[in-house]
Amino acid sequence: MIGTTALSRRGVLVAVATAPLAVACTTPPPPPPPPDVLEDLLRAARSDAALATAVGAPETAAARAEHATRLAAEIDRATPKVPTTSSPSSAAPTSVAPPAGATREQLVAALRAAQKQAADLAPTVPTHRAGLVASVSAGCASLLEALA
């Protein structure tokens, strides 16, 4: 039989063994994880810290900066590390520029909003995160009392 090629056993085995690799190499990567539900609380904490600094409330600024630090740590802990993606969004700039013309009333309104946001979120997160979120809510409530 001249001109025809027969498959050898070795050729068949190589083809069967490499087929899964071809499929694995052509599948798209998994989608990135959805944004963490704590991201909004983190942004609010950073913004409130800047606002408190602008209105001359250093204790409030320090407390909200600590909230931001703890929230960022939890987001980083929970975010899967994928080597092909950039760093997590919680690694964004840790300071926010203080707004011009900031007032104490704006700070009080921002703290009220953050307290409500955290209180509304606490029952919806897993129990290992609920303590952190509830603490942020309680911390905002105590900061409101201190500013009154």
Tens-place pLDDT, residues 4-35: 556 777 877 777 777 776 655 566 777 777 88
- The phi, psi pair for 137, rounded to 5°, reads -60, -50
Q: Which domain holds residue 139?
A: 39-147
In a domain, 83, yes or no: yes
In a domain, 75, yes or no: yes
**What tokens appear for 63 in the block?**
């407390």
Please name the residues in contact with 74: beta carbons below 8 A apart, sequence gap of 6 or more.
Answer: 38, 129, 132
pLDDT digits (tens, 9 = 90+) for 93-110: 556 776 678 899 999 999
**What tokens appear for 78 in the block?**
């929970």
In a domain, 16, yes or no: no
In a domain, 18, yes or no: no
In a domain, 73, yes or no: yes
In a domain, 91, yes or no: yes
In a domain, 6, yes or no: no
**Closest by Cα among 37, 139, 133, 36 to 88:** 36
What is the CA 112 to chain-centroid distance, rounded? 22
Residue 104: per-residue pLDDT = 94
Q: What's the half-sphere exposure (Cβ side, CA atoms, 13 Å) at 16?
A: 7
Whole-model pTM: value is 0.71
pLDDT digits (tens, 9 = 90+) for 35-81: 899 999 999 999 999 999 999 999 999 999 999 999 999 999 988 66
The domain tally of the chain equals: 1
Q: Rounded to an integer, what distance in angstroms lies between the CA atom of residue 72 and that of residue 78? A: 10
Residue 70: per-residue pLDDT = 97
Residue 79: per-residue pLDDT = 84
In a domain, 80, yes or no: yes
Q: Rounded to an integer, what distance in angstroms lies between the CA atom of residue 85 and that of residue 81? A: 8
Residue 26: per-residue pLDDT = 65
